Chain A
């Protein structure tokens, strides 16, 4: 309680996000996210392998579905709240909940308190970590790069950057890879134009935004780009594929696991 209070106090005084991280746990919950579940399960398996390789037991609750962000962002908070309530009930043990997306982690950590009235929610939200944040700050992971030399760019989702501040942990992790050169692209902090239902409700603005994002990524001539959010990557990869451009994004879980020499999952 006191720690959380001091944390809030310091946060209000500093531009740098401050969060108290727990000691390395023996087990964690994994929150796979709905996009990874149905569209990109490889990234989920890679995350499990990666965490297990660090001696962590991974608990995957079979009843998990979605964090509720799609209806919440569309103005249907009451529908989102019911799903959010069901998710919270799935993670009773006092162990970290590792989320494979910056925006879903941001939703659970920062927006569940707006949706639900639950006196224990504060402690629950404190247990929510985005994967790269967990690997870097909690595990203090030391990555051994076994891959060939390559140049990559990093795309950070807006929620990862502005809600979870995990763009920093992503950068730090990628910089640990000795054969990987991380290249900064223009307007890296600007949104890719996904925004969930925004891409459908305002398709032309969204298209203009992703055009610029793909242009900037292609301009730095990298071998691939990496991101911790499949929402953005569905958008950016989809646009790159439509343009038949020779670039594709990879989720940070898959990428790190591959660079560490893990089997392709």
Chain B
């Protein structure tokens, strides 16, 4: 599959034919969804919690510029250096320079989707820096030179047997085993040595607290804590939308995140990073840096409706519940963020010209919005993107880059014609009358509908006609 949203259609047809892939993804997303359901059902206040989460994120976004300034100020005061990056290239360049300054050549990484967004590993490898992904799923996809297919479980597309084969191929001395504990232990042995040798740890950030200058990191495997405490240098990278106002905003968001993601009441690890090692302290990194990435986020921020996209706390519940994601998997989207959240986020990063198949690849069934912990109205935002995709680009500064790229004059004409016949009752009745008269002359094959379905047939009389006829008959009876 090609890593580009322009290849969505080709990727989809490839993915749909891969029965093993479909089975793996269905099994894993069913598992996540069932776990979430169990936890949510046991919590009678979960709906209030979602509402609280929405309000927190919307409040923080409403004062995003101020909070970002406050965050920089506080972090700097705490001894954490802040770097701003408008583009992915700037983010990569900043990190590469930091590594060069510290003479760092061996990096261990905690899972960070923002670093996937910047393709940081490729950039660093090209500069001679060795990078090791230490999240188990991310490690698996790195061994195979693949990309994550899910934002929480990067290797969700692989089953146990496939992982056993990969480890057998890549980890010396392990031998083939399907024993999950043995597989994890083997990977941990590999990683333990790398943690000791590494001179830089790179992680993401789940929440950045402006008032206190605290970076919060949520994880289950302990690798994030290793990355952020063992090497002398810790670099965190995240998107500008991750800032929250105060520490009291964290408990509701953390509860929502873990419950929605895996059904856990709390993650195994929750790290709060507030400063580098102080004199007299025995461990911790000697220097901590934060890279804050924009990459299209400020464009989404500029539109009141699209701003809601930035409420996302990256729990992945939307993809676990999406009937499209559940059938095609994450790689098909050709984007870093797959599934419903990726469909509304990526157009702001790459423009609607490259991503025009993403907003249409949804039945608007609403199961994503139903489970979203911060109540992002994903179907409405998909609709809004569809609207901008076909809008003639007349404005000097477009709301979404590449708007109007999906406009097809034939389609525009069909909807114009449709409106003409449906706006007036008389014209509509004429149209449907003609359809009933021509019912045998209508096409019997409409691709791709008839590839897997029969077409319905037009009735002999419309409901309008039947109602009229019925009224005449009843009038005659009386």
Assess whether B456 is in contact with A234, with CB atoms less than 8 Å apart: yes
Tell yes or no: B247 within 8 A of A by CB. no
- Docked pose: A80 CA to B419 CA in angstroms: 7
Assess the B419–A41 pair: CB atoms within 8 A: no
Instruction: State A48–B424 Cα separation when bound (angstroms).
Output: 24
Of all chain A residues, which has the CB nearest B47?
A15
Q: Which residues of A contact B422 (CB under 8 A)?
A: 34, 65-66, 68, 83, 86
Given the interface pairs A62-B425, A208-B327, the reply to whether A79 lies near B463 with Cβ below 8 Å is no
State which of A64, A161, A195 has its C-beta within 8 Å of the C-beta of B364. A195
Is B363 a contact of A39 with CB atoms below 8 Å? Answer: no
Query: CB-CB contacts of B425-468 with A at 8 A, as 1s and 0s?
Result: 11011001001100000000011111111111111011111111
A242 touches B454 (CB 8 A): yes
Taken together as a complex, chains A and B put the C-alpha atoms of A141 and B456 apart, in Å, by 32
Q: Which of B328, B363, B424 has the most CB of A within 10 A?
A: B363
Known: A200-B449, A202-B360. 8 other contacts (CB 8 A): A15-B47, A60-B464, A65-B422, A66-B422, A189-B367, A205-B324, A207-B453, A235-B453
Q: Smallest CB-CB separation from B418: which chain A residue? A: A71
The interface of chain B, by Cβ under 8 A from chain A, is 12-13, 16, 46-48, 51, 323-324, 327-328, 359-367, 369-370, 380, 383, 386-391, 406, 411-412, 415-416, 418-419, 421-426, 428-429, 432, 435-436, 446-459, 461-468, 470
Query: Contact between B463 and A37 (Cβ–Cβ < 8 Å)?
Result: yes
Q: Which A-chain residue is minimally distant from B466 (CB atoms)?
A: A41
What is the CA–CA distance of A14 and B386 in the complex, to the nearest angstrom?
31
Given the known inter-chain contacts A198-B363, A241-B453, please indicate yes or no for A38 contacting B419, CB distance below 8 A.
no
Question: Within residues 192 to 240 of chain A, which ones have a CB less than 8 A from any CB in chain B?
Answer: 193-212, 234-235, 237-239
Residues of A within 8 A of B323 (CB): 190-191, 193, 209
Q: In the bound complex, do residue A44 and residue B449 qualify as a contact, i.e. CB atoms below 8 Å apart?
A: no
CB of B411 to closest CB in A, whole Å = 7
Give 6 closest A-B pairs by Cβ, nearest first: A63-B425, A203-B448, A195-B363, A238-B453, A75-B386, A191-B365
Pick from A14, A162, A198, A202: contact of B366, CB under 8 Å: A162
Q: Quick one: given A37-B432, A205-B327, A205-B361, are A239 and B416 in contact (CB under 8 Å)?
A: no
Interface digits, A106-143 against B, CB 8 Å rule (1 contact, 0 not)? 00000000100000000000000000000000000000
Could you tell me the distance in whole angstroms from the C-beta of A245 to the nearest C-beta in chain B?
A: 11
Residues in A whose Cβ lies below 8 Å from that of B423? 65, 82-83, 86
Instruction: Give Cα A210 to B324, complex, Å.
Output: 12
Closest to A100 in B: B463
Q: How far, in angstroms, from A72 to B468 measured CA to CA in the complex? A: 30
Q: Give the distance to chain B from A100, nearest Cβ to Cβ, in Å.
A: 9
- Per the bound structure, the CA–CA distance linking A73 and B361 in Å amounts to 12
Q: How far is the CA of A71 from the CA of B11 in the complex (A)?
A: 27
